[in-house]
Amino acid sequence: AQKVTQAQTEISVVEKEDVTLDCVYETRDTTYYLFWYKQPPSGELVFLIRRNSFDEQNEISGRYSWNFQKSTSSFNFTITASQVVDSAVYFCALSEDNQGGKLIFGQGTELSVKP
């Protein structure tokens, strides 16, 4: 069965600290896609990144970086030098090739960055 687990419910850091959000997934498909979304207090989910199951290259975008490891079924998200504007709920999600667009979300991690 497909499942996404974000074990960290809440994380609180002080500005400029680095923080890593964990995501572990389960799937029987060999082709699947992983996503990270950010949900600020306004409610809208903002797409951050997509990773294909056959592409294990890590990715960096500014202060954001993602580490995808198939061996441990993990897709972790690191924010370097966190800022107050990073405060939000972050969701990891899984899409399987045979499920046609259905996103399976983790429970989310609420990140609070204090000044």
Partner 1 sequence: EAGVTQSPTHLIKTRGQQATLRCSPISGHTSVYWYQQALGLGLQFLLWYDEGEERNRGNFPPRFSGRQFPNYSSELNVNALELEDSALYLCASSYGTLSNQPQHFGDGTRLSIL
Interacting residues with partner 1 (CB under 8 A): 32-33, 35, 37, 42-47, 50, 52, 91, 93, 95-97, 99-108
Closest Cα partner for 62 from 51, 49, 71?
A: 49
Q: Which helix (H) or strand (E) holds 79?
A: strand 74-79
Closest Cα partner for 57 from 40, 70, 73?
A: 70
Smallest gap, in angstroms, from Cβ of residue 32 to partner 1? 8
Instruction: Say if residues 75 and 66 touch (Cβ distance below 8 Å).
Output: yes
Smallest gap, in angstroms, from Cβ of residue 17 to partner 1? 27
Question: Which CB, 43 or 115, lies closer to partner 1?
Answer: 43
Question: Which CB, 34 or 82, lies closer to partner 1?
Answer: 34
Residues 61, 108: Cα–Cα separation, whole Å = 21
Question: Which CB, 80 or 103, lies closer to partner 1?
Answer: 103
Residues 57, 69: Cα–Cα separation, whole Å = 9
Smallest gap, in angstroms, from Cβ of residue 16 to partner 1? 30
Smallest gap, in angstroms, from Cβ of residue 45 to partner 1? 4
Question: Which CB, 17 or 97, lies closer to partner 1?
Answer: 97
Q: Which helix (H) or strand (E) holds 42?
A: none
